[in-house]
């Protein structure tokens, strides 16, 4: 079997690793450099519970996503030779005033009602874990077992493991459209006009997924949602836990660098960093960790989160074209869901029935007969 994967980000690379490992002849095309869009721009938080806004299909999928990553992580390290610096120290949500505390208590209630585990901390207990936290933190929630990964290294790990398993990667090779013959996929047409034949095609082109010609009948519409990030130099171990709050988040890297985020903006495909974005992130981050105000600001960047209209990922077979699969629309959860998405897509291509209920992420929800259009 020959598979072509459109998009060499964290999702496409993870899929290529699983497909090539299963003996599928796999080639990945990326319109630019591999892994240099949202996979590069992300902060790398692995917080299915910490990032959940409420009970339902998304948090359940994200929990399965973390399990899937935990399940393959050791093998990924061994097969890639790349260490993505996965740190499971736990994530902390903190409150600096009564309104924020009420928001956290509401999170605590629905998560406990759903049977999830999380701990309540006083401000002093939170500062014992993270001494750099503001003296104004009065209350916190701790999500043990959640953590962070270096998303750029994770993407590189999938790429290297996929290459070692036999996959080919073609950077700067844009796919113009899907080519179909007799009602099923026959390959892709590249922007240089060449036809590349395949038995299956996976559209994992992130927020460029709906621009691929030949997919329109499925009604999958993915748009970019910009997120800006600031990066500070800090001594190694300045922060041992990633911190979230209604004012933003701060994520430590092992090197000591601290990433502060973020914005959520409808700015089309514009990856500019703006003064408003920087000001908002900086003020939120400094209120959480006052010492940040004196640290060197090393870099700022913006990335484009791929979002479907309902903000749920799009994972599964095309309802109209046999041999075409989607793995896109991961919005805020692409890093977290990479291993699970790859497992699901590789399983579907191999003809296995997924053990998860995939109805909430099915591409069929957008087609003419779908309920959510
Ligand atoms: N998952 C964090 C973000 O999208 O900013």
The rounded distance, in Å, linking the Cα atoms of 373 and 362 is 12
The whole-chain average pLDDT of the chain stands at 96
Residue 371: per-residue pLDDT: 44
Does the domain at residues 2-79+151-221+309-365 carry the CATH identifier 3.50.50.60?
yes
DSSP for 89-147, written as a single string: S-EEEEESSHHHHHHHHHHHHHHHHTT---EEEEHHHHHHH-TTS-TT--EEEEETT-E
The rounded distance, in Å, linking the Cα atoms of 20 and 10 is 15
- The per-residue pLDDT for range 127-149, each reduced to its tens digit, is 999 999 999 999 999 999 999 99
* Ligand 1 atom closest to 227 (CA): 5
Q: Which of 10, 39, 41, 42 to mutate to test the pocket of ligand 1 (most atoms within 8 A of CB)?
A: 42
Record the pTM: 0.96
CA of 150 to the centre of ligand 1 (A): 13
- Partnered with residue 201 across adjacent β-strands are 4, 324
Instruction: Report residue 284: phi and psi, to 5°.
Output: -65, -45
CA of 180 to the centre of ligand 1 (A): 36
Asked if 358 and 315 count as a contact pair (C-beta separation under 8 A), the reply is: yes
Residue 372: per-residue pLDDT: 45
CA of 23 to the centre of ligand 1 (A): 34
Instruction: Report residue 182: phi and psi, to 5°.
Output: 50, 45
Q: Which CATH number fits domain 91-144+224-307: 3.30.70.20, 2.60.120.200, 3.30.9.10, 3.40.50.1820?
A: 3.30.9.10
The predicted model gives 303-325 an average pLDDT of 98
Q: Which of 262, 306, 336 to mutate to test the pocket of ligand 1 (most atoms within 8 A of CB)?
A: 262
Domain locations along the chain: 2-79+151-221+309-365, 91-144+224-307
By CB neighbour count within 10 A (0-12 exposed, 13-18 middle, 19+ buried), where does 179 fall?
middle
* Ligand 1 atom closest to 331 (CA): 4
* Ligand 1 atom closest to 51 (CA): 1
- The per-residue pLDDT for range 185-207, each reduced to its tens digit, is 999 999 999 999 999 999 999 99
Q: Is the CB of 45 under 6 A from ligand 1?
A: yes
C-alpha 82: how far from its chain's center? 19
The predicted model gives 75-88 an average pLDDT of 97
**pLDDT tier at 367 (50, 70, 90 boundaries)?**
confident
Secondary structure letter of residue 265 according to DSSP? B
Q: Is residue 68 over pLDDT 60?
A: yes
One fold for both 2-79+151-221+309-365 and 91-144+224-307? no
Q: Is the CB of 332 under 6 A from ligand 1?
A: yes
Lookup: tokens for 203: 């559209």
């Amino acid at each position: 079997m020959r598979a072509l994967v459109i998009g060499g980000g964290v999702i496409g690379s993870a899929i290529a690793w699983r497909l090539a490992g299963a003996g599928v002849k796999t080639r990945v095309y990326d319109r630019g450099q591999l892994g240099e869009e949202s996979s590069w721009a992300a902060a790398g938080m692995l917080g299915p519970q910490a990032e959940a806004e409420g009970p339902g299909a998304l948090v359940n999928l994200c929990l399965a996503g973390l399990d899937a990553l935990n399940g393959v992580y050791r093998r990924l390290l061994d097969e890639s030779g790349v260490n993505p610096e996965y740190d499971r120290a736990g994530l902390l949500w903190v409150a600096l005033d009564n309104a924020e505390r009420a928001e956290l208590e509401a999170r605590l209630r629905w998560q406990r009602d759903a049977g999830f585990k999380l701990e309540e901390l006083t401000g002093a207990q939170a500062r014992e874990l993270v001494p750099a936290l503001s003296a104004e933190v009065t209350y916190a929630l701790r999500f043990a077992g959640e953590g962070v990964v270096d998303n750029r290294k994770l993407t590189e790990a999938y790429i290297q493991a996929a290459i070692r398993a036999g996959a080919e990667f073609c950077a700067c090779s844009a796919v113009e459209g899907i080519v179909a013959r007799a009602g099923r996929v026959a390959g892709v047409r590249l922007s240089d006009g060449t036809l590349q034949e395949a038995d299956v095609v996976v559209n994992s082109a992130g927020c460029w997924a709906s621009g691929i010609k030949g997919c329109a009948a499925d009604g999958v519409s993915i748009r970019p949602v910009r997120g800006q990030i600031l990066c500070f130099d800090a001594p190694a171990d300045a922060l041992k836990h990633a911190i979230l709050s209604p004012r933003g988040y701060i994520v430590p890297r092992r090197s000591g660098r601290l990433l502060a985020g973020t914005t959520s903006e409808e700015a089309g495909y514009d990856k500019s960093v703006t003064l408003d974005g920087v000001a908002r992130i900086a003020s939120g981050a400094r209120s959480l960790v006052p010492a940040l105000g004196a640290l060197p600001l090393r870099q700022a960047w913006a990335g484009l989160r791929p979002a479907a209209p309902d903000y749920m990922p799009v994972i599964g077979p095309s309802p109209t074209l046999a041999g075409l699969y989607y793995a896109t629309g991961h919005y805020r959860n692409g890093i977290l869901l990479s291993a699970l998405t790859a497992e699901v897509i590789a399983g579907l291509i191999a003809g296995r029935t997924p053990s998860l209920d995939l109805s909430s992420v099915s591409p069929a929800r957008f087609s003419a007969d779908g309920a959510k259009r």
